[in-house]
Structure 1
Amino acid sequence: MSGQTYFITGANRGIGFELTKYLVALNPDNKIIATVRDISKATALKALSKNIVLFPLDLGSQKSIDAIPSELEKIGVDTIDVFVSNAAIADSYITVLECPKDKWLEHYKINVLAQILIFQKVYKAVAKSTTKKAVFISSGAGTLTAYIPTPMSAYGQSKAALNFSVIELSTELKSEGFTVVSIAPGIVSTDMGSHGFGIIKVNSPHLVESLSTLSLTPEQSGTAVGEIIESLTEEDNGKFINFDKNENPY
């Protein structure tokens, strides 16, 4: 079985690393363009497969984002079958009244604007594929109709804004045969997830028991996300899909 080419941001740890590991195990011929900020620190990622290409990318740098097309050309990639926007930040588990301007701007810059700008740079390569999947890793914190009553301010708002862009992209690209979705990977015991969960324990202790039952390891989450990605069809275009494969409300 011939493999596919995946472009995964933030592949060096957490969900991105486990998703990469899942895709390599699924088909050794899969090629993974794995973005990392510091290639020298990605030895474990590189060791997963000879078909993993380490790709330098800093979501906070416009220069780095602008260099994506030329970097793809350097490695001889002109077609991407599956784009996965995974890298993000979560550092605003405080109330709206307490959240300072710099945190609002930082979360919007990384979790929304960078995701869109990166996709703009890889769009032509994805459009050349017959698969045409664009996956944005979102969060249950980004839903408006099933709001989780705990302070998330800039983080929750950024994921809601990302979800809006997913809906818009799914409409704009439907006629081209794209499948554009958001995926909520669950409450995951990554460094970022554990930090946030610890703060939730303090701010909203009544939620801890119910949220604890939903906690996943990075491997469980990465595998769940991978299974969803592989099963996507054009009928899923525009959906917000939970890690358990159920559809989330926006």
Structure 2
Amino acid sequence: MAGRALEGRTALVTGGSRGIGRAIAERLGRDGAVVAVGYAREKDAAAEVVDGIRAAGGRAFALPAALGWHGDAVALWEAFDERIVEHAPTGGVDIIVNNAGIGRSADLANLTEEGFDEVFAVNVRAPFFIVKHGLERLRDGGRIINISSGLARVAMPEIMAYGSTKGALDTFTLNLAKELGPRGITVNSVAPGIIDTDVNASWLRGNPAAAAHAASLSALGRVGQPEDISGVVAFLASDDARWVTGRVVDATGGSAL
């Protein structure tokens, strides 16, 4: 296993039990990182991801990480500190992937204040305070990767609150890159388009017309897969991306060109 790109590093992936987060956790594990697989409710799914990473020769552990309430980021890091010493005695973290998020929201007419607060709490406040409280643990030369969305630059009024959270996340990325650059820490966003995950399963899978339409939106003529995103994240986490920071990497397959 020697020589893997992320050997000797530790990564935290929030929302790592399924979909894009799962693919990211698995890829970083294959690349040699010790991976903390954050999950909110799906404990069994997170355990399955951990087992898969270990079966492939990697190292990982599940990390309870329910997000959306005040104090959740502090609780996440306290749990991380307790668990990491079993796998990396020096502690600390090298890679933070803010992937957890609420993937949908109501339109303007139907969005409640409670719904607005929830989507912003999980998609914006949680990453903000995960980074704030994680900085004392994040080593110089580290990586922060925020999972944004192509909807931060394309109008879709029926879920505008969701798109607005991703625009906020990209602004967070920009400012963090400036602030943390002196420590050699890079900060980037990755903006997926339509990805075949459980979040989109209800309208995408088993619906040939919907799948064909989704594929037609991409210049590459297909629907994205979680591995399409995990590869981009793996690059940004690696030394090869050391000169890339403050960017939003479009990973939509050329949608809405």
TM-score, L = length of structure 2 = 0.80
Q: Read off the aligned partner of 2:198 and give its amino acid letter.
A: D
Structure-2 change in CA distance of 1:78 and 1:236 (3 Å): same
Cα offset, 1:241, TM superposition: 0.5
Residue 88, structure 1, aligned to residue 101, structure 2: yes
Whole-angstrom CA distance in 2 between matches of 1:166 and 1:8: 16
How many residue pairs match? The answer is 237
Whole-angstrom CA distance in 2 between matches of 1:137 and 1:84: 7
Contact 1:141 1:152 in 2 (8 A): no
Query: 1:168 maps to which residue?
Result: 175
Contact 2:224 2:253 in 1 (8 A): no
Structure 2 unaligned spans of 5+: none
Q: What does 1:63-78 align with in structure 2 at a 5 Å threshold?
A: 63-75=71-83, 76=85, 78=91
Contact 1:181 1:241 in 2 (8 A): yes
Query: 1:211 maps to which residue?
Result: 217
Contact 1:17 1:45 in 2 (8 A): yes
Query: 1:54 maps to which residue?
Result: 62
Secondary structure of the equivalent of 1:187? coil
Question: What RMSD, in angstroms, separates the aligned Cα atoms of the two structures?
Answer: 3.1
Query: 1:123 maps to which residue?
Result: 135
Cα offset, 1:149, TM superposition: 4.6
Structure 1 unaligned spans of 5+: none
Structure-2 change in CA distance of 1:105 and 1:60 (3 Å): same
Cα offset, 1:19, TM superposition: 1.2
Residue 220, structure 1, aligned to residue 232, structure 2: no
Structure-2 change in CA distance of 1:186 and 1:73 (3 Å): same
Residue 31, structure 1, aligned to residue 34, structure 2: yes
Structure-2 change in CA distance of 1:172 and 1:34 (3 Å): same
Cα offset, 1:155, TM superposition: 0.3
Of 213, 224, 230 in structure 1, the residue corresponding to residue 238 of structure 2 is 230
TM-score, L = length of structure 1 = 0.82
Whole-angstrom CA distance in 2 between matches of 1:209 and 1:86: 23
Q: Read off the aligned partner of 1:48 and give its amino acid letter.
A: G
Measured against aligned partners, the alpha-carbon deviations of 1:71-95 in whole angstroms (never above 9, x if no partner) come to: 2331226321111000101222x43
Secondary structure of the equivalent of 1:182? strand
Percent sequence identity is 23
Secondary structure of the equivalent of 2:137? helix
Q: Read off the aligned partner of 2:181 and give its amino acid letter.
A: K
Of 89, 109, 114 in structure 1, the residue corresponding to residue 121 of structure 2 is 109
Measured against aligned partners, the alpha-carbon deviations of 1:135-156 in whole angstroms (never above 9, x if no partner) come to: 100001112xxx2355321101
Of 138, 147, 169 in structure 1, the residue corresponding to residue 148 of structure 2 is 138
Secondary structure of the equivalent of 1:183? strand
Cα offset, 1:190, TM superposition: 0.8
Cα offset, 1:191, TM superposition: 1.5
Of 7, 14, 25 in structure 1, the residue corresponding to residue 19 of structure 2 is 14
Cα offset, 1:236, TM superposition: 1.5
Structure-2 change in CA distance of 1:164 and 1:187 (3 Å): same
Contact 1:5 1:81 in 2 (8 A): yes
Q: Read off the aligned partner of 1:167 and give its amino acid letter.
A: L
Cα offset, 1:36, TM superposition: 1.2
Whole-angstrom CA distance in 2 between matches of 1:232 and 1:98: 45
Structure-2 change in CA distance of 1:244 and 1:110 (3 Å): closer
Whole-angstrom CA distance in 2 between matches of 1:130 and 1:245: 32
Whole-angstrom CA distance in 2 between matches of 1:53 and 1:3: 15
Q: What does 1:172-191 align with in structure 2 at a 5 Å threshold?
A: 172-191=179-198
Structure-2 change in CA distance of 1:48 and 1:161 (3 Å): same
Cα offset, 1:132, TM superposition: 1.2
Of 96-105 and 161-170, deviating more is: 96-105
